[in-house]
Chains A and B, each alone.
Chain A
Amino acid sequence: MQKIYPIIAIIGLVISISSVFKKSPFFNFVGLQILIYGLLKSADYIMPALPAQVILMYMAMSVFSFIIYFSIQEETFKAFLEPMRSLFADDNKKFLRLIIAFIALPLFAGYLTYAKVKPTYDPPVSARIVHPEPPSQMDFKGKTMNVLGLENPLRKDTANFAKNVEEGKKIYYQNCFFCHGDDLDGKGHIADAFNPVPLPFRGTDTIAQLPESFVFWRVAKGWRGLPAGSGPWNSSMPSFEDFLTEEEVWQVIMFIYESTGNKPRSWE
């Protein structure tokens, strides 16, 4: 479906360019609007897709501005209005007039109505804190741990670094990879079953923004540890303290940082 938008943009460009040669500002205008719409809609090739609301805003602005632009010079403006004038006044356009009045406009109105009343199953929009605050203390298998300032004990053991990462890799593939993916990009086999989708570890805005202690808390406590503001019901992360030892959690954390090239954030 997205593939269609670059094509729309190209069609718009073609209309716009050819109408420059035909000296028809009106179709130039139409072509430009199609081009801009196509470009805005196909923005998701280079960045996350633009929200519908922003596209609507930009399109309203662009229609307003380009009408202004084409009405600056008298001749251009006359030529701009010409197709509309001829549609309503010329005798040989009678048939076209009928089509527009009795078929195109009713269809368009019908479509608008349909789009408006079409039932959707989207839940209401709600704000959710993505990186919630961890508690200052937590209880790990009966042992009280200070989350604030908690450090990965295995980092000090530089001699066994490679071995720990290797262990972490095994643990990752036995426990995490189903959701978080082979490539650690959040696109595991069953990732699409969840909403919101599992977080990717690549990129600069997830684990790269977090200290290891936060990740430890998140892995250990899972959805049950989330505060109300983050909607624990909105997460499928299990509490891995039920399945892994403390050392294993640290090993897997080292693995995900190491294999994505991210550095944990440190408490200053």
Chain B
Amino acid sequence: MADVSVKKGLTKGVIKLTVLLGISFLFLFVLGKLLPTPTEDGYRVFPLIGSRVWVWIIAQLHLNFAAFVLGVPIFAVSMEFLSWRRSDERLDRIAYDFTKLFTLAYTITAAVGTLLLISLPVLYPKFMDHMMKILGPTWWLYIVVMYVEVMVCYYYYYSWHKMKDNKGTHVAIGGLLNIMGVIMLLITSAWVGYMTTPAGVSETGELLSRWKAIKTHMWIPLSIHRLCANVVFGAGIAASYAAYRFIVAETDEDRAYYDWMGYTSAMISIGFSLILPGVGYLLGVEIYSFNEQMGIQLMGGFFAWLWVMQAILIGAILMFVNYYLWISLNKMPGGERYFKYVKYLFVTMLLGYAVWLTPHSVALSLDEARKMGTYHPVLGNLGVMAAKNTAVVITYLATFLSFAIFKMSNKEAVVSWAKLGNALRGLIVIGSTVIVLILGVYSYMVSSAVRVKILSPIQFGVFFLAIVALFILDAKMFKGAKILGEPRWGKMPERSQYALIGITVTFTWLMGMMGYMRSGGRQYWHVYGIMQDTSPDAFLPTHGFASVVTSILTVIFFALMGLLFYGIMKLEKKGGQGGAKA
């Protein structure tokens, strides 16, 4: 398929997009004529599952795919840049593989987007009229940017081998692709931002200032949050692609390559996920400053238990990551020397996880309530933010240590101060843990304002300082170190790959749940405080219902992803001689 000429590729892309857009407008026109007129307050009902569930699933699927095609280019292009500077063939291959993934995913993204584009105006005509009235021009801009984006993307992909000797320009095109991606993200975030934290309109929904309606409280923080999460998510999907290829691989060479690809993607994913709590905090602050009520509702009201769910999921992700790193020690020559530390890391992770998922308010039977009163003295103390922040920082630190151990396990320091260096490392690890613990205990004694604004940032600061210090120390200590042997890529038990897939599935599920919460924060409003939802679906469903919908759409998403992976393999086989393996 690398033989397809650039021109042909571009034409194909533009035609695909135009056909899909054409289909949607045709459908909108025909359905608008055929279907009965909407109800008085402006709704049509989707058969069987109802409008809300239908739009919910389609929108979340579209969002998942969009997150993927916007997230992957960020590190694909970075990888290509690195391969260009270091002239590293393997990096070039992985960058190309990433590009292959997102380019082919565009078609599915656009197809699901088309479904959404048809569904929304048909099912929610009055609401969409309002959105067009307020933010109409951004929609036309969006279509233009989408065309440019697709063209740049296809050009970038199909010209990969043609421009082998002109890498600089090719990387620049990749950069342009990412700029386009960010613009698309900004536009779509503006829509959601307006729905959740509207501004620039009068109380009756008349437009006052279009720019204000775009630049809402949520706009920028939501965009940054999505940008980071897209990278985490995209890299996660790339890792599960690698895991899939590893499992179905037939040669050792393939296995070695996909093992390495899975490892690289997983580390990109986890590295970026370290920023997410901070960015999420910013988003939360903006929601609070828009409307205190909505903030509390999201953080502690109806959704309180979903945060416990989130804790379970994030704990599981971190466990999977550590597991993957610990298994990876098997393939490192000299890795067996470090298994003895895994015990301690494991116990730390276990205790951290236990604290992290202890709920603050426990559902009690009468018998239990009779014995202990309404408030458990020990669990009550573990359930509050002071304990949770501490636990999370310490588990993150343990995860970083697992990574550091993996990195150094095949090396032996030769510098003269190696002993001192080891002592120093121990000191940093234990010291930062103790400081974080002390801060954690101290934060029980101060008011919540001091805890949130001063102590928690200090805890995270100590964590980042510690990992930076460890990073520098290791870099210095293992400079020119004796290498006990190259990692035996591909010598991984299959279950490690299941851990990678587990990470991605859990993350996708989490994304679905958080997306539901973000959307549910509006409660019975289409546009919070401006346009009320008067449809029969205006209520928030039970957590169980939301979980089932999230599970269903996650399975659909992975089924589509599986199709995509399968398609890529088919294509590679067809063009196997054509140099797709570069």
Q: A–B direct touch, CB within 8 Å, in complex?
A: yes
Residues of A within 8 A of B (CB): 44, 47-54, 57-58, 61-62, 64-65, 68-69, 71-74, 77, 122-123, 125, 127-128, 130, 195-197, 205
Min CB gap B149→A, angstroms = 41
Sample 9 A-B pairs with CB under 8 A, ordered by A number.
A48-B371, A48-B373, A49-B368, A51-B379, A71-B323, A72-B327, A74-B330, A77-B495, A125-B365
Complex alpha-carbon distance, A77 and B323, angstroms: 13
Cβ–Cβ contact A125 & B366, under 8 A: yes
Cβ–Cβ contact A48 & B357, under 8 A: no
Partner of A50 from the list B339, B357, B365, B376 (CB cut-off 8 Å) is B376
- Sort A-B residue pairs by CB-CB distance and give the 5 closest, nearest first: A48-B372, A72-B326, A68-B323, A51-B362, A47-B378
Min CB gap B158→A, angstroms = 43
Which residue on chain B has the smallest CB distance to residue A46? B378
Cβ–Cβ contact B365 & A52, under 8 A: yes
Complex alpha-carbon distance, A130 and B368, angstroms: 15
Cβ–Cβ contact A54 & B370, under 8 A: no
Asked whether A49 and B350 contact (CB < 8 A) given A68-B319, A122-B365, A125-B365, the answer is no
Cβ–Cβ contact B350 & A48, under 8 A: no
B377 at the interface (CB under 8 A from A): yes
Cβ–Cβ contact A48 & B377, under 8 A: yes
Q: Restricting to B369-386, which residues have a CB under 8 Å from any CB of A?
A: 369-374, 376-379
Complex alpha-carbon distance, A197 and B378, angstroms: 21
Most B CB contacts (10 A, CB to CB) among A44, A51, A196 go to: A51
Complex alpha-carbon distance, A61 and B326, angstroms: 19
B359 at the interface (CB under 8 A from A): yes
Residues of B within 8 A of A (CB): 315-316, 319-320, 323, 326-327, 329-330, 339, 342, 346, 349-350, 353-354, 357-359, 362-374, 376-379, 493, 495
Asked whether A74 and B316 contact (CB < 8 A) given A51-B376, A53-B363, the answer is no
Cβ–Cβ contact A50 & B374, under 8 A: no
Complex alpha-carbon distance, A258 and B379, angstroms: 31
Complex alpha-carbon distance, A65 and B348, angstroms: 12
Complex alpha-carbon distance, A204 and B238, angstroms: 55
Cβ–Cβ contact B376 & A61, under 8 A: no
Cβ–Cβ contact B370 & A195, under 8 A: yes
Min CB gap B451→A, angstroms = 22
Min CB gap B544→A, angstroms = 16
Asked whether A65 and B376 contact (CB < 8 A) given A71-B495, A72-B327, the answer is no
Q: Which B residues touch A72, using CB under 8 A?
A: 323, 326-327, 329-330, 339, 342
Complex alpha-carbon distance, A127 and B364, angstroms: 9
Most B CB contacts (10 A, CB to CB) among A54, A77, A123 go to: A54
Complex alpha-carbon distance, A184 and B223, angstroms: 60
Which residue on chain A has the smallest CB distance to residue B368? A51
> Chain B binding site: helix, strand, loop or mixed by DSSP?
helix
Which residue on chain B has the smallest CB distance to residue A124? B366
Q: Which A residues touch B330, using CB under 8 A?
A: 72-74
Q: Which B residues touch A197, using CB under 8 A?
A: 370
Cβ–Cβ contact A125 & B363, under 8 A: yes
Min CB gap B463→A, angstroms = 22
Q: Which A residues touch B367, using CB under 8 A?
A: 122
Complex alpha-carbon distance, A48 and B315, angstroms: 26
Asked whether A69 and B370 contact (CB < 8 A) given A50-B379, A64-B316, A125-B363, the answer is no
Cβ–Cβ contact B350 & A62, under 8 A: yes
Q: Which A residues touch B323, using CB under 8 A?
A: 68, 71-72
Complex alpha-carbon distance, A58 and B369, angstroms: 20
Complex alpha-carbon distance, A64 and B350, angstroms: 10
Complex alpha-carbon distance, A74 and B336, angstroms: 11
Min CB gap B170→A, angstroms = 42
Q: Which A residues touch B369, using CB under 8 A?
A: 125, 196
Complex alpha-carbon distance, A196 and B373, angstroms: 9
Complex alpha-carbon distance, A64 and B346, angstroms: 12
Cβ–Cβ contact A61 & B357, under 8 A: yes
Min CB gap A60→B, angstroms = 9
Which residue on chain A has the smallest CB distance to residue B325? A72
Complex alpha-carbon distance, A122 and B365, angstroms: 8
Cβ–Cβ contact B346 & A61, under 8 A: no
Complex alpha-carbon distance, A49 and B369, angstroms: 10
Q: Which A residues touch B495, using CB under 8 A?
A: 71, 77
Min CB gap A266→B, angstroms = 21
Asked whether A58 and B354 contact (CB < 8 A) given A51-B362, A53-B362, the answer is yes
Which residue on chain A has the smallest CB distance to residue B363? A53
Cβ–Cβ contact A54 & B379, under 8 A: yes
Asked whether A54 and B339 contact (CB < 8 A) given A48-B376, A64-B316, A122-B365, the answer is no
Min CB gap B210→A, angstroms = 47
Q: Which B residues touch A62, using CB under 8 A?
A: 350
Most B CB contacts (10 A, CB to CB) among A51, A64, A72 go to: A72
Complex alpha-carbon distance, A205 and B372, angstroms: 12
Min CB gap A78→B, angstroms = 10
Cβ–Cβ contact B374 & A130, under 8 A: yes
Complex alpha-carbon distance, A205 and B376, angstroms: 12
Q: Which A residues touch B362, using CB under 8 A?
A: 51, 53-54
Q: Which A residues touch B342, using CB under 8 A?
A: 72
Q: Which A residues touch B346, using CB under 8 A?
A: 65, 69
Complex alpha-carbon distance, A267 and B367, angstroms: 35
Cβ–Cβ contact B370 & A128, under 8 A: no
Complex alpha-carbon distance, A51 and B359, angstroms: 11
Complex alpha-carbon distance, A72 and B323, angstroms: 7
Partner of A47 from the list B315, B320, B358, B377 (CB cut-off 8 Å) is B377
Partner of B359 from the list A54, A74, A196 (CB cut-off 8 Å) is A54
Q: Which B residues touch A77, using CB under 8 A?
A: 493, 495
Q: Which B residues touch A128, using CB under 8 A?
A: 374
Min CB gap B514→A, angstroms = 21
Min CB gap A42→B, angstroms = 14
Which residue on chain B has the smallest CB distance to residue A196? B370
Min CB gap A241→B, angstroms = 27
